[in-house]
Each structure stands twice: as structure tokens, then as C-alpha cells.
Amino acid sequence: MLPSLTDRLASLRGWRADLAAFVAGVVSALALPPLFVLPGLLLGIPALLCLIGGARTVWIAARRGWWFGFGLYTVGLYWITEAILIEAARYWWLVPLAVPALAAVLAVFAAIPAAVAWRARPGWPAALTLAGAWVLSDLARQFVATGFPWNPLGSVWEFPGRLGDIMIQPASLAGVHGLTLATLVLAATPLLGWAWRIGGLVLLGIWCAFGIVRLDQPLPPAPDLTVLLIQGNVAQGQKWDRGLMAEIFRHYLDLTREALARADGRPAVVVWPETASPALLENDGRAREAIAQAAGGAQALIGSVRFDNADRPRNSLFAIGAGGTIEAVYDKWHLVPFGEYAPGWVPGSLQLVPGGGFASGPGPETLHVPGVPPVGVLICYEAIFPSEVVDEAHRPAWIVNVTNDAWFGNSSGPRQHLAAARMRAVEEGLPLLRAANTGISAVFDARGHEVARLGMQQTGYLAVRLPPAIALPFYAKGGLWLPGGAAMLLIIVSFATRKTPGKGGCPKNDTV
């Protein structure tokens, strides 16, 4: 960045500095899926560092970090309003409040790294400190108050095609949080000296080389199994209409029969999306028999609701075998706060989920279904949680992700959700097959390469041979400790160089 611009940013005070931080956050959000405007980060992160460096106290630095996060998350999560509009007659008052309120909470996780970076020495120590503290804050965001690790900055590399495949391969070493760490360091280099800029280019070169080499490694033989992903494209306003339930059920049965014809007699497994069956399969034997008949003897993984012994609903996936037998059941365990359950810390007057909502399952689980390689299940929201997607003691051979993104219309929400699922395939070295009610249904191999896709708001199916799993990636062995440890190391190195107190951020001039 030009010295005159960085000096001007560092000299801003009061509401002008807060506004600049907000705009920097908005610009940075343009780099997120599905836009992938990466120059947004090259502008936004240096601007944030300058604003941090110009703060007179740590509290002012934190406030500027908060405004940056507020801009970042407001733009990145605008699509949540689409879900409220589905029930606008009931929740109209939430339309102007929901996204800003959520962004305001998440912005705290940007304020903390800004405060930590202010303590570092100006220049590269502040940049590395911001990157490290941001990743630690993202790790906290994954767990605090049930967690919401949506839109990590490492996801900005998930653009479509071969180049995107190349750029996400280092997630096999350090996960999406590791990509976030590297991304923030790279984004800060315009603010630093030429040595850092050249170093950033070298890092990108190594990054690309690793991705190319990894992608060019031969895959093991694929299992002899065709997976049939059904996309019913049922509008959210119709899903639970009692007058349409029988028609919706027949619609899925018809699509299943059509898809089965594409299997050409090969062993097959049918997958319906999250809560696709309007029938309560646990108690409805006739519905299970109809599914088994439509599947022609193939195993069927069907999203449905069930009720437990305490009469609490559970968001589940049923494995239906020949004759309509229930071979296995998986219960979603990462529930959406306010959408699927009511957090206990929320006052009763603010509860939006009747009766406390859904009950959660025990955690990641591998289903063993006759004739099907062991399969790990992710229901909707569960796909956004790195290192919390498979049972490590009984690793599956593939992951099935069923979801209903109809709530969010044809917005960036379903596309960001798809990007999260794709990253889980790279991290775990497992193929991931996704059946979405209104799209996007897709198949990713164990390196995150897209094999097939059925786009938004289309009715149909995908018939794809199951890709093979690959050797356990380094990240899958070490988990969140790897990016967390790297982030801590950056902070320690940065503070070890500090000889004078405080005020990190923008360098005094355009040098290291």
C-alpha cells in the first residue's frame, strides 16, 4: 500500500476509523465463496493492520477489529435473512435484526485478534500476530456457545476448477484453519517490505507445487458401487404441507426409480436429502417398503425425522434395506442453535424453537450397512466443523452429506455450505457425496475435486461411481492441534522480537 494511504488510515480517529474498519471488512468479505475476489483481502487486511497500529489504546484497537468483523460477517452472512423470509408472517420483526445481531457477536472473534496484534511490534510482528491470533479465535469460534465456524478465511481458495483443486490441497496438512493462517500472512504482505512480498510469492509457488504434485498422484481403485443422489427440489414452503406430503413422497420414489435405471445393474446405494421423507420412517413400515421397492434391492440412505423415547424429535438418516428393514440409524448431533434447538442460556422469552427443539445424537458415527463400504454421515450444519466429522476409532470409507438448503434460496448460503463440505473431503482424505433438497448436490473425490454436480433449484439425480478413499492425510492424524500449534508459534516468534511496548500494525514506512 502507498505510504500516504497507510499514514492516512493510521491517523484516522473516532467514527471515521470505525467506518474505515467496517468498509475494510466488507471489502474482505468479497473474497469469500462464491465471489472469490481475492484482492479484497489484499486491501482489507493491510487496512485493518494500519487501523490497529493507529489506535492509541488496546481497547480502541479491539473496537476497530470489531467493526472489521462486523462488516465481514454482515456481508458474508446476509443470506440468513432468506430463511426468515420463509416465515415472514411470524418472524418479520427479525428481518432487520438477525444478521446484524449474529455479525455483532461473531465480530468479537475479530476484536480479540486486533487487540493482541496491537501489543506486537509494528510491521511483520503485528502481521504474524494478527494471523496467529485470528486462527486461535477461529478455533474458539468452533466451540464457544455451541460453535459457528462459518466462512473461515481459508475458504477463499475454493474456487471452481483445477486451480481451486490445487490451492486447497495444503488443507490435507493443516486443515482449513491452516489455510486461514497462510492466507492472512499473504494478505498482509502489501503492507510490508519487498523481502516479505518476494517471500509471499515463494510461498505461493511452493503451495501450488504441492497441490499439483498431490493431485497428480494416482488414486486407488474405486469400489464397485454406484451412488444415486436424489435432488427433489421441493420448496421449503411445501415440505411440511400435509396436503402435499403424499405427492412429495411419490416424487422421490419416482426419481429413485429413474436413477436406478442409470446404475446399469451395478450394485447401488440411494441417497435422499435431509428430512426428504415426509413419512416418519421409524414407525411407518409401508413407507419403508415403498422405498425399498423403488430402490430395487439397493440400500437406501433416507433423511427423515424420528422421535426418541422422551418424545423429542431427532434429525436422522435411516439406512433402509430389502423389504424395508432398518439397517442403521444416524442422529444429527451438531444442531443449529435457534433453528433446531433452544440454547439453555437464552431467556425463555427469546426462545424461537417450540418445546426446546430437536434432541442431539451422540456424535460422529460410522454406519455399517450390508453391501456398502462403511459410511460417515454429516447432516447439513455438521459439514462446517473441521475435525469433527468422522469417528476416528472406526474410520469410514466415504462420507455422505445430506442437507436441505431450501431455507436460503438461490443465495450465497448454499454455495458457502458446499465449499465447507468440499474442504472436509480434503482434510479427511475421503470422498464426500452430497444430496441437497434444492441443490447443490455434488460429488467430491478424496482430494476435493468435483466429480459431478446438480445445480441450484434443479430436479433430478446424480448417478456416480463411488470414488476411493486415499491414505490418511497428515491433518487427519493431528487434527486441530496442528493449525492451533502453528498459530501459537507465530505469536511467540512475533512477541520474542518485541523490544519496545505496543502499538503493532502499520509499519512506520514501507520497509521491513
Answer whether residue 507 is part of any domain: no
Model confidence at 186: pLDDT above 60: yes
- Give pLDDT, residue 511: 32
Answer whether residue 505 is part of any domain: no
**Mean pLDDT across the stretch 124-132?**
96
What is the residue whose three cell numbers read 432398518?
326
* Active site residue ranges: 274, 332, 380
Model confidence at 440: pLDDT above 50: yes
**Mean pLDDT across the stretch 186-210?**
95
**Mean pLDDT across the stretch 217-234?**
95
The CA distance from 500 to 45, in Å, is 24
pLDDT band at 505 (very low <50, low <70, confident <90, very high): low
Contact present, 379 and 330 (Cβ < 8 Å):
yes
What distances in angstroms separate CA 158 from CA 77, 333, 387, 388, 390, one per listed residue?
18, 27, 18, 20, 22
**Mean pLDDT across the stretch 7-11?**
89
- Give pLDDT, residue 171: 98
Contact present, 144 and 385 (Cβ < 8 Å):
no
**Mean pLDDT across the stretch 184-200?**
94
pLDDT band at 202 (very low <50, low <70, confident <90, very high): very high
The CA distance from 122 to 508, in Å, is 8
Contact present, 55 and 20 (Cβ < 8 Å):
no
Model confidence at 39: pLDDT above 70: yes
Answer whether residue 146 is part of any domain: yes
Q: Do both 166 and 282 map to the same domain?
A: no
- Give pLDDT, residue 120: 94
The residue with greater pLDDT, 378 or 268, is: 378
The residue with greater pLDDT, 263 or 405, is: 405
The CA distance from 474 to 216, in Å, is 18
pTM, two decimals, is: 0.93
Least confident of 327-341, 402-416, 462-476: 327-341
CB-based contacts of 15, cutoff 8 Å, min separation 6 = none
The CA distance from 75 to 406, in Å, is 20
**Mean pLDDT across the stretch 368-374?**
95
Model confidence at 499: pLDDT above 70: no
Q: Do both 15 and 128 map to the same domain?
A: yes
Model confidence at 237: pLDDT above 50: yes
Q: Do both 369 and 407 map to the same domain?
A: yes
Q: What percentage of the chain carries pLDDT values higher than 90?
A: 78
Give the closest residue to 270 by CA, choosing from 225, 222, 239, 329: 225
Q: Do both 376 and 481 map to the same domain?
A: no
Q: Do both 191 and 168 map to the same domain?
A: yes
Tally the domains of the chain. Answer: 2
The CA distance from 138 to 218, in Å, is 34
The CA distance from 503 to 501, in Å, is 7
pLDDT band at 89 (very low <50, low <70, confident <90, very high): low
Q: Which helix (H) or strand (E) holds 305?
A: strand 299-307
Q: Do both 96 and 162 map to the same domain?
A: yes
Answer whether residue 353 is part of any domain: yes
Q: Do both 177 and 286 map to the same domain?
A: no
Q: Which three cell numbers stand for residue 105?
A: 457477536
Give the closest residue to 442 by CA, choosing from 409, 483, 389, 401: 401
Model confidence at 1: pLDDT above 90: no
What is the residue whose three cell numbers read 456457545?
145
**Mean pLDDT across the stretch 136-142?**
97
**Mean pLDDT across the stretch 253-277?**
91
Task: Tell me which DSSP letter residue 406 carries.
Answer: G
Q: Do both 114 and 65 map to the same domain?
A: yes
CB-based contacts of 203, cutoff 8 Å, min separation 6 = 182, 185, 186
Answer whether residue 110 is part of any domain: yes
**Mean pLDDT across the stretch 110-116?**
98
Model confidence at 512: pLDDT above 50: no
**Mean pLDDT across the stretch 89-115?**
86
Q: What percentage of the chain carries pLDDT values higher than 70?
A: 92
Q: Which three cell numbers stand for residue 332?
A: 444429527
Q: Do both 406 and 489 map to the same domain?
A: no
Model confidence at 345: pLDDT above 90: no
- Give pLDDT, residue 343: 66
**Mean pLDDT across the stretch 309-337?**
93
pLDDT band at 91 (very low <50, low <70, confident <90, very high): low
Q: Do both 186 and 255 map to the same domain?
A: no
The whole-chain average pLDDT of the chain stands at 91
Least confident of 73-87, 375-389, 471-485: 73-87
Indicate the burial class of 140 (C-beta count within 10 angstroms; 0-12, 13-18, 19 or more). middle
- Give pLDDT, residue 97: 80
Model confidence at 370: pLDDT above 70: yes
Q: Do both 100 and 246 map to the same domain?
A: no
pLDDT band at 509 (very low <50, low <70, confident <90, very high): very low
Q: Which helix (H) or strand (E) holds 330?
A: strand 326-331
> N- to C-terminal Cα distance for the chain?
13
Answer whether residue 510 is part of any domain: no
Answer whether residue 508 is part of any domain: no
Q: Up-side HSE of residue 501: CA atoms within 13 Å toward CB? A: 3
Model confidence at 503: pLDDT above 70: no
Q: Which helix (H) or strand (E) holds 489?
A: helix 481-496
Model confidence at 270: pLDDT above 60: yes
Q: Do both 247 and 381 map to the same domain?
A: yes
The CA distance from 485 to 439, in Å, is 37
pLDDT band at 261 (very low <50, low <70, confident <90, very high): confident
- Give pLDDT, residue 309: 86
Question: Which residue range(s) make up the domain with 197?
Answer: 3-216+476-496
